[in-house]
Structure 1
């Protein structure tokens, strides 16, 4: 089932993680997906279910690919949970659009603090706003007492079950910062929080699940083996952790061998043909990155050897001459790209993007708080899906390619392979 809500901040991630953790404890094989281009919530959800979490987005990925991922998961799982994004009907490719297209039943998490019968009115509105949507019940979050839970349940229509009533407990809340929740590895007591949240799911009523659904067999063509024999060094640590598991799968499906390294602690690169620097939080590790001179020099040497480097968002910032955090602390970065970036307190760009390069279109998203100052001329500028967004420049310097965009490789594997296959023209 897809876990949605009337709005952000209702507790979707906590409840989805609690459901995954609880049913895993019951011996079920649980797989979890996240609606939209999110990197942080999936880390929490992966910890809860014990399996990698994949994204589902109709526009960025295409419906056939979303169907294929669900079908493959259904072959190995007893329970599939999909965490929605924002409110149920929010956005051009909303949680409701996804659920309807993929024939997934929807449950809504509603923060019940300060509500009694109005809880049922909100639930009724969500269930009937789009009659063709398979709405299977509600989950009450932050319930104050058994009596409160009874009031909520009695107010619901007879055909709308209360799937769970989760007791209010601030100890299960998940801390957040400017790009969203903290990363899973930063929450030292995450296991205790999830165990407590799973316990709270059954505080007042038994936790219920909807009837099973079936997914049709969908199989897309495997990508060409364009990276056969290539070894790609992928940065992965607390500063660079915004990675789609599907991107890693795509690179491996094209024949690449992946090795991982940490720009924070490693003094050299692994032996590799190309380097992948994903997004993350370099601004939170500014001095550590600046002080790791051997790693910066290793990246410069890699580039001078004509080997490929592909960088996204935080990885892109790391390759600039300097980065300044929101408190005004500036530090020297790798310096392979002329320019500097400064973190702001307000969002600089957010939304889905289409990028057109020599080998066609690829899609992804932008989400950053930094402002770029550079004299570099982009080889292409992305097109924002939303009218209030603005295009992001895509930069190339020899075999180095970089931008703010987080791209979804499976949308155009041939194009993505070019990020890692070697020397490019300026």
Structure 2
């Protein structure tokens, strides 16, 4: 895209007058000649241009079925230095910082939602390794406001932290680690014992799959998992499930998003009805079993205290 970006910029600027477009930065620009057309489009649309980032082969990350690959062979810390150098060279950083500081003068910081769940400092265990890493730093920061956060690896550690007040199993790529996850019997048993004894567990997407009786891989082979939830997850006949979700549970409206290719066999009954962004009922479940809350939906924690799921 070159000069044809002008009507798009004009549309964004005028579609909603309450939203002020401070400016634009272009990405994947082929060179100075390409940028000259983009910059002229900004001038004609009345939108400030802060600069651009060129195409850079040395920071390309290949994608897979749920987004960018997270393989350790990519030295992401080096990517940051290369991107920073490009930003310094091609973007008007001082102008960008100046306008951002002016626009955010009256913006108040948002603290973690308050809950009456507990007055004491909590212990929170978070699964984090190659199989489970779909976490938002904002959510981890919120958990740290409620207590001490301890990370553990379902792939490599012997047991989950059983003294935790909450066990958080986020999404990830368990389908790429089915054999080692299934082979770590002590970890599976510790999570099963914790859940069946009434421990609080929040399991999102891949974390929910891990709690199922089994996961069938793309090769058709089934691997036993924790067996906390009486259902089976499968990667066979992959189909994209995507969209924003909302529903009311425990008297609180929850929002989130769903993005996965797996599906469930014999899915458990949902604890509440979930809806799409257009308020259409969807068949995605939010499962409640004992003190386990699980589902494909990645919940948004910014509006409600996550512990209100158990109030």
Task: Determine the structure 2 residue equivalent to 1:417.
Answer: 307
**Greater Cα shift, 198-207 or 362-371:** 198-207
Task: Determine the structure 2 residue equivalent to 1:243.
Answer: 135
1:149 correspondence with 2:18: no
Q: Is there any run of 5+ residues in structure 2 with no aligned partner, and where?
A: none
Match of 1:268 among 159, 173, 177: 159
Q: Deviations over 1:309-355 (max 9, x none)?
A: 22121111001111122332321111111121112565442222223
1:334 correspondence with 2:226: yes
Residues 196, 374 of structure 1: alpha-carbon distance in 2 compared, 3 angstrom cutoff = same
1:174 correspondence with 2:65: no
How far, CA to CA, are the matches of 2:170 and 2:89 in structure 1?
41
Q: Deviations over 1:89-146 (max 9, x none)?
A: xxxxxxxxxxxxxxxxxxxxxxx5xx3x434454444434445532233333333333
Match of 2:83 among 188, 191, 197: 197
Residues 391, 376 of structure 1: alpha-carbon distance in 2 compared, 3 angstrom cutoff = closer
Match of 2:4 among 114, 118, 123: 118
Match of 1:379 among 261, 266, 271: 271
Q: Secondary structure at the match of 1:136?
A: coil
Task: State the number of aligned residues.
Answer: 303
How far, CA to CA, are the matches of 1:233 and 1:300 in structure 2?
15
**What's the offset of the Cα at 1:296?**
0.6
How far, CA to CA, are the matches of 1:151 and 1:182 in structure 2?
33
How far, CA to CA, are the matches of 2:182 and 2:112 in structure 1?
43
Q: Is there any run of 5+ residues in structure 1 with no aligned partner, and where?
A: 1-111, 422-426
**What's the offset of the Cα at 1:284?**
1.5
8 Å Cα contact 1:353-1:383 kept in structure 2? yes
Matches within 5 A, 1:345-364: 346-364=238-256
Q: Secondary structure at the match of 1:127?
A: helix
1:223 correspondence with 2:114: yes
How far, CA to CA, are the matches of 2:157 and 2:271 in structure 1?
32
**What's the offset of the Cα at 1:149?**
3.2
Task: Determine the structure 1 residue equivalent to 2:283.
Answer: 391
8 Å Cα contact 2:250-2:309 kept in structure 1? no
**Greater Cα shift, 167-176 or 152-161:** 152-161
8 Å Cα contact 1:233-1:275 kept in structure 2? yes
Task: Determine the structure 2 residue equivalent to 1:53.
Answer: none
8 Å Cα contact 1:167-1:203 kept in structure 2? no
How far, CA to CA, are the matches of 1:195 and 1:179 in structure 2?
26
Q: Deviations over 1:38-74 (max 9, x none)?
A: xxxxxxxxxxxxxxxxxxxxxxxxxxxxxxxxxxxxx
Task: Determine the structure 2 residue equivalent to 1:11.
Answer: none
8 Å Cα contact 1:234-1:276 kept in structure 2? yes
How far, CA to CA, are the matches of 2:112 and 2:187 in structure 1?
38
How far, CA to CA, are the matches of 1:383 and 1:419 in structure 2?
18
